[in-house]
Structure 1
Amino acid sequence: MPLIQVTMVQGRTVEQKHALIAKLTDAMHEAVGTPKDRIRVAIYEITADEWGIGGEPFATVRGTDPNAASPPPA
């Protein structure tokens, strides 16, 4: 029984997550031939403050952190 685990930053709609589950299931089925009813998909969502890129929280990198320093004026 294959298990596909996805970790991603929150913000997708239920419809997008359902589409992701369907497409990942199809891809696993096509790649290795596992029957679709045996494939499991788990989506783990985290906040932008719980994901880091280059030593910075994703919220800061993305520019959504209200506590982040403002960039210097151009």
Structure 2
Amino acid sequence: MADEDIDTSEIPPLDDDFFERAGLRLPDEPVAVTVHVDADVLAWFKAQGEGYEKRLNAALRSYVEAHKEQR
């Protein structure tokens, strides 16, 4: 989808009030943990290259977000 195809007619303008109330949200600092995972799972993430820890964290976060209501 191209930018021109997006209907922005209902989006309010970003005025000075918006930017005065806006705040910077930094991600939490990661916590180092030891987790036992199956060797093939770790191998797959490592095979994706540099940054595999971030992708593993993203996969875990996606699972958490998908299951928050089940708590």
TM-score normalised by length of structure 1: 0.28
TM-score normalised by length of structure 2: 0.29
Kindly name which structure, 1 or 2, has the bigger radius of gyration based on alpha carbons: 2
Bigger RCO (CA 8 Å, 6+ sep):
1
Structure with greater proportional helix content: 2
